[in-house]
Amino acid sequence: MRRARIRQDKLTVILREEEEGGYSAQCAELPGAISEGETKRDALKNIKEAIQGYLEAFPEEAVRLKLKREVVEVSV
């Protein structure tokens, strides 16, 4: 299987402390890449693996990631 390759850009990961314990992590650029862990460190390690797996399953997403993007915060 051919491995998806992306530039070494930074991806945005949303890390949340969960009420029931542990942390959840989701990649903003790849909404299907979601993971969790008992600690922040575990959650971040696991989301990296989830991102790699997601890009292997959906190599077309690596192409989409190369498009120019901008992250903007808004208040509501």
Condensed to tens digits (0 to 9), the pLDDT of residues 12-71 reads 999 999 999 999 999 999 989 999 999 999 999 999 999 999 999 998 888 888 877 777
- The pLDDT of residue 64: 84
Say how far apart CA 30 and CA 50 lie, in whole Å: 10
CA angle 64, 7, 28 (to 5 degrees): 50
- The pLDDT of residue 51: 94
Residue 58 lies in domain:
1-76
- The pLDDT of residue 18: 98
40 phi and psi angles, rounded to 5 deg: -60, -45
pLDDT of 74 higher than 60: yes
- The pLDDT of residue 63: 84
Say how far apart CA 40 and CA 47 lie, in whole Å: 10
Q: Check which CATH number belongs to the domain holding 48 and give it.
A: 3.30.160
- The pLDDT of residue 53: 94
Number of structural domains (the chain) is 1
